Amino acid sequence: MHSIYPTFLWQCDKFLTTPDLPDELLRKVKQNDELEKNLFDMEEVRNTEEVLIKALSEEVIANWAIEGIQLNTAAVRSSIIRHCGMSLPVWNPPGNRDYRDEINAVATTLSFYREPLKKMSADILCDVNARLAPADVRFNNEGKPLVENAPNVWGQIRVTGIQVAERYSGKAVFIGPNPGDAKAMLDKFSEWWNRDRGKIPSAVFAALAHLYFVNIHPFGDGNGRTARILAEKVVPKEDSIFRTYSLSAEILHRQRDYYTALDKVRSPESSKIFVNYILDRQHDAIQTSITLIDRKREQKRFWEKYKEEHFSPNQKYMLDSMILSLTDEIWDGSRIARGNIPEAFSELRDLEKRGFLKKGKFRRDLIPPENSKSNTQAPAFAKTNNIKRTMANADPSDEKTSKVNAKATESEQNESQGWSR
């Protein structure tokens, strides 16, 4: 991402505008609105708290992870439950670990979502940034950092130059505007926000707000997190103040594309490139939430169908992981094992022999369609396993028993050839 300074500064009045939107972007906005309505109409979204908790947790964790900060998932989830006053069980962390960063991240995000915002201002933006300060940052009573030689303070407009560097190479990919111009540009940003909000689709306005804010980069740290929280404030969430999907999680999955889209914006007109990127990620995020709910439904139907089938606890865990997966991938013991990897390989081979996997992939076609009557019979190729169990106590001298055992052994040998680690 290259600096658009001084172009951005020189064209500040022109840049902080709302561009004309091509029909293609307007169609994407309409498609996303319809898809989001489909998501919100799903019974699980309207009647359960779990979908909301999952989306909020992913949003907070991903927003921080984009900046290279890893938050504890269980601590974030429990903090959200407590802040929202929900009745779900919470995780009690061990006493030897400080989880104040997780608590602060949740508190900052949720409080800004909930607070009414009639008018944007530089003071409001400074307040949001101040709340993002990590737990180990300490201030004295005058609001100055206790760390010596640290001129930039959380919640105050920076007084030094700033650049964004690649995480591993250290190479600068963005150089922010002159610090002396940051306050004036932040005021211009607030004027644009108050003037144009509501004049265009909220998703487009959120993308533009995100883009404009990160290019001003007014603070010493936390600019990206502040920008993404700002974007969340704009987008309506049907009957809720929270989204039921995570846009930041989709950005995190395609983080290189995120910086590429920012890099391509060199003029007010080219801001549509970033808007298009955000609309695509919004579509992916909504679709992911819908797919996850569908997977949970499939999980329920699968276990209703095979409730009489015997599985070890580890095999049940494996099957749940496969059913809930968003991709049809090849599973192996090293990725899915909870403990002993050789044992996991053995249990996966058993699932393959019984017909629940084919060439390492889960047989999703075994899941009954929605609203269909459940057939509790195991797959036809699972019958050899059932035959072995039912014949275990039979008389081995019996001619019929001998033929069945021989057939089962031959079938096992043929099917095992399809297994691959």
1 falls within a domain: no
pLDDT(94) > 70: no
Q: What is the pLDDT of residues 190-202, one digit of tens each?
A: 999 998 888 888 8
Residue 176 DSSP SS3: coil
Residue-range definition of the domain harbouring residue 119: 7-288
* Domain termination site, one of 260, 288, 316: 288
Categorize the per-residue pLDDT at 409 as very low, low, confident or very high, splitting at 50, 70 and 90: very low
Do 333 and 243 fall into the same domain? no
pLDDT at residue 183 is higher than 80:
yes
Q: Please check whether residues 63 and 195 belong to one and the same domain.
A: yes
pLDDT at 234: 78
Render pLDDT for 11-58 as a digit per residue (tens, 0 to 9).
Answer: 445 556 666 778 889 999 999 999 999 998 898 887 778 888 888 999
Residue 2 lies in a domain: no
Q: Is residue 40 part of a domain?
A: yes
> pLDDT grade, residue 140 (50/70/90)?
very low
User: Is 50 domain-assigned?
Assistant: yes
**CATH number, domain containing residue 59:** 1.10.3290.10
- One domain for residues 270 and 314: no
Q: Express as a percent the part of the chain with pLDDT over 90.
A: 31
On the question of pLDDT at 320 being above 80, the answer is yes
> Are 346 and 210 members of one domain?
no
Interatomic CA distance for residues 224 and 176, integer angstroms: 13
Cα distances from 97 to residues 89, 192, 226, in angstroms, run 20, 43, 26
Domain boundary (232, 260, 288) is at 288
Residues 183 and 58 in one domain: yes
Stretch 229-245: mean pLDDT: 71
Residue 168 resides in a domain: yes
Asked if the peptide bond before residue 236 counts as cis, ω within 30 degrees of 0, the response is no
Give φ, ψ of 189 to 5 degrees: -60, -45
CA distance 411 to 139: 72
Mean pLDDT of the chain: 77
Do 271 and 386 lie in one domain? The reply is no
In a domain, 301, yes or no: no
Determine if the pTM surpasses 0.75: yes
Inside any domain, residue 271: yes
Distances (CA, A) of 395 to 65, 310, 390, 391, 400: 62, 23, 11, 8, 10
How many domains are there within the chain? Answer: 2
Answer yes or no: do 205 and 268 share one domain: yes
Considering the domain architecture, whether residues 92 and 58 belong to the same structural domain is answered as yes
- Residue ending a domain, choose from 259, 288, 317: 288
Is the same domain home to 199 and 105? yes
Could you write out the three-class secondary structure of 383-398?
Answer: HHHHHHHHCCCCCCCC
Indicate if the pLDDT at residue 93 is higher than 50: yes
Single-letter residue type at 39: L
For residues 94 and 297, give the distance between their C-alpha atoms in angstroms, rounded to a whole number.
34
Whether residue 319 sits in one domain with residue 193 = no
Question: Predicted confidence band at 247 (pLDDT cuts at 50, 70, 90)?
Answer: very high
Q: Residue 293 domain-assigned?
A: no
pLDDT attached to residue 179: 85
- Same domain membership, residue 170 and residue 48: yes
Query: Does 389 score more than 90 pLDDT?
Result: no
Mark whether 107 and 233 lie in a shared domain: yes
